[in-house]
Homo-oligomer: A and B are copies of this chain.
Amino acid sequence: MFSKACEYGIKAAIFIATKSYEGKRVSPKEISAEIDSPQAFTAKILQALVKHNIINSVKGAYGGFEIDKTNIGNVKLSQIVNAIDGDSIYSGCGLGLEKCDENHPCPVHDKFKGVRDELKHMLEETNLEELALNIKSGASFLKL
């Protein structure tokens, strides 16, 4: 469904959010330990999230990654997915035609559209805050 990079990116953003509520910055090392991902690869993904203004980075000693506490609720899952995987998963044709076009539909278009739109809606309506709070409360988990 999502690329590995995207899975790591989502989990990393959630973990950073939980720590940001505590006013703490986190390093790629802490993040990869917490979400069970390769450290250097995760660092690359973090750079991409920074470039897309989804998370914030602070260089140098006592630096790390964080998200503005007051903004966590505004970050949508769709922004993260779009930053890493692009929008093809919820905009593209399910059978790989150049584009999804009502006037030139692939064989599964009518059947697929509903699923894809529901996915899109879910990604656009889900924000980091609710995901982070469920992690903090122990209702959900980032690894294993």
Contact = CB atoms under 8 A, between A and B. Distances in A.
Contacts of A1: 1, 89, 92, 94, 116
Count class of interface residues, chain A = 35 or more
A10 B114 contact: no
A116 B115 CA distance: 8
| Copies per complex of this chain | 2
Interface string A101-136: 000111111011011101100100010000110110
Contact of A135 (B96, B107, B115, B140): B107
A4 interface: yes
Contacts of A89: 1
Interface string A59-98: 0000000000000000001000000000001001011111
Contacts of A41: none
Interface of A: 1-2, 4, 7, 10-11, 14, 77, 89, 92, 94-98, 104-109, 111-112, 114-116, 118-119, 122, 126, 131-132, 134-135, 139-144
